[in-house]
Amino acid sequence: MMEKMTPAVPPSTPATPPLDWWRGAVIYQIYPRSFQDSNADGVGDLPGITDRLDHVAALGVDAIWISPFFKSPMKDFGYDVSDYRDVDPLFGTLADFDALLARAHQLGLRVMIDQVLSHTSDQHAWFQESRLSRDNPKHDWYVWSDAKPDGTPPNNWLSVFGGSAWQWDTRRRQYYLHSFLTSQPDLNFHNPAVQDAVLGEVRFWCEKGVDGFRFDACNHQVHDALLRDNPAADGGDVSTVRADNPYAMQRHLFDKSQPENLVFLERLRGVLDAFGAASIGEVGDEHAPPIMADYTEAGKRLHMAYSFSLLTSRSSPAHLRGEVEALEQEIARTGGWGCWALSNHDVPRIATRWSVDGQADPRQARMLLSMLLSLRGSVCLYQGEELGLPEADVPFERLQDPYGMAFWPEFKGRDGCRTPMPWVAADAQGGFSPVEPWLPVSAAQRALAVDVQEADADSLLHATRALLAWRRGSAVVRAGALRFLDTDADDVLVFERRLPDEPGAERLLFAFNFSATAATLPVPDGWHGACIAPHAPLTGARLDTDTARITLSPFGALCLQSSSHEH
């Protein structure tokens, strides 16, 4: 019988009123290893981030999300935490983090940090104690199970990184669960003491003054207590991994996304609310929208969540519309809030992933960024996306990612999106470091460096600043409702944004051409007499009021404005 949950320990600082700055916010993701090296060891660090915060603030984003910088053996580059309360020496010190936090706040940037709660490193003190015996104080802090009579694992669960999700431990003579690498054992969230402990780690950073958290793999935090086998996928869609990964052969009904996780998330929200901290959850599931809606139920759990729905290779307007509409329908049920991303540290960069012919096109990069910033919800913008960086081609001998090494050559891993940020085009290392960095600097990316784009008034960098300023100043874009409109052009996405129905309420109509060829479409019903929105920095389109037709150039984008709501 499960032990009754103990209440969260009251915070040591006075409660602050909840804030809603996150609603419609744009959050800039920083991957510390690759942002800026300040001490000439070839790896980015916290002082390097501090040195480059002026660039981030000048973009006009609301917050930064910093990927893990905690003490770690770096088997998964910080997503295997061995001490939640200390900075890994590779990245600096706690004092360096304090300085970063202070500088960000001076610049008007909120700071969100990555928290990996579903698992730890096998070097964490909790696991080191847990594996000692079957009766030590932390014996059930992780998911342990006996082998089947024939010595095989307890069930058929698979690791996201390939192979069985179970690893044999010779000391305990039991298997332990690892949803990711074997060096990343899963915590047992059915144990109330584990929940108390991880909430204590969150509270530590709240007390240091962070503004929020991105919770990694947050739907992996609870497993099925009966350890039931997952059924076969039967040809279903497992969109969170590649089709050549055996993980895609199962429907993951029991190893993640369990209902008990909702109880933990409510406890977590209690800690966050006590400090006025915001949260965003990563939901990796085959059918993410209902889970995202439940996880972000208004005032109860996480503030917002994102999935991998736009982080795959599927780039059609129909796919995008389907994913957005599915989430809109679900969050209408719970009052939840979504967040959208086109790139991050786990997937190939959007400029290459959604390119028409494998070659990044700056017109497409601008259109996609315009589209992303026009959606309802919050937005995560990955470092270098403001430059339109393509995926880097990292040779096998320079690979660092164990995921890529395991699936080479069909899958090259995640290194291609994690290469160093290019600041100076003429510098061999892109201004990232004075020495050879941990991953090679891509020549294609270096050509798009910050200094080159600063000098070009028509660059994507300048367009990004204009788009972000426009979004920040538009109430209808940050918070208005969204409705898609049908069109005969398969490569064109059309939707409208509007504030609640009031006399004269502003409406905006958006049209985006996903094709490398021009497209023409009629002005939708109810939009006759509208004009091109004067402050929307979208390009590559023309409105002919005489014929009531819209012409979109290749990868063109248009925004119409109307104060009427007749339709």
**% residues pLDDT > 70 (the chain):** 93
Q: What is the mean pLDDT of residues 386-414?
A: 89
Listed residue (78, 502, 508, 484) closest to 318, CA to CA: 484
Euclidean distance between the first and final Cα of the chain, in Å? 58
| H or E segment and range at residue 541 | strand 541-544
pLDDT of res. 566: 43
What pLDDT, in 10s, does the model give residues 406-438? Answer: 888 878 889 999 999 999 999 999 999 999 999
CB-facing half-sphere around the CA of 295: CA atoms within 13 A: 29
pLDDT band at residue 567 under the 50/70/90 scheme: very low
Where residue 358 falls among pLDDT bands split at 50, 70, 90? confident
Q: How much of the chain exceeds pLDDT 90, in percent?
A: 87
d(CA 407, CA 410): 6
Task: Give the mean pLDDT of the chain.
Answer: 93
Overall average pLDDT of the 15-34 stretch: 83
Rounded Cα gap, residues 236 and 229, in angstroms: 17
3-state secondary structure of 290: helix
| pTM listed for this prediction | 0.94
Distance CA 428, CA 497 (A): 45
Q: Which of 385, 381, 394 is nearest to 443 (CA)?
A: 394
* pLDDT value of residue 410: 79
3-state secondary structure 132-180: CCCCCCCCCCECEECCCCCCCCCCCCECCCCCECEEEECCCCEEEECCC
Map out the domains of the chain with their CATH numbers: 26-122+189-469 (3.20.20.80), 481-562 (2.60.40.1180)
Taking only the tens place, the pLDDT of each residue in 288-321 is 999 999 999 999 999 999 999 999 999 999 999 9
pLDDT score for 19: 59
Residue 550, pLDDT score: 97
C-beta of residue 419 within 8 angstroms of C-beta of residue 445: yes
Q: Tokens 């003190």 label which residue?
A: 125
pLDDT for residue 8 is more than 60: no
- Residue 11's pLDDT is 32
pLDDT at 18 over 60: no
Report pLDDT digits (tens) over 228-283: 999 999 765 555 566 678 999 999 999 999 999 999 999 999 999 999 999 999 99
Q: Which tens digit of pLDDT belongs to each residue from 83-117?
A: 999 999 999 999 999 999 999 999 999 999 999 99
List, in order, residues 6 or more apart from 295 with CB less than 8 Å away: 218, 219, 262, 265, 281, 283, 301, 302, 305, 336
pLDDT at 17 over 60: no
Q: Which residues are catalytic?
A: 216, 282
Which two tokens mark 336? 């939840």
Short-list 232, 223, 226, CA closest to 251 = 232
Q: Where are the beta strands (DSSP E) in 32-161?
A: 63-66, 70-71, 83-87, 110-115, 144-145
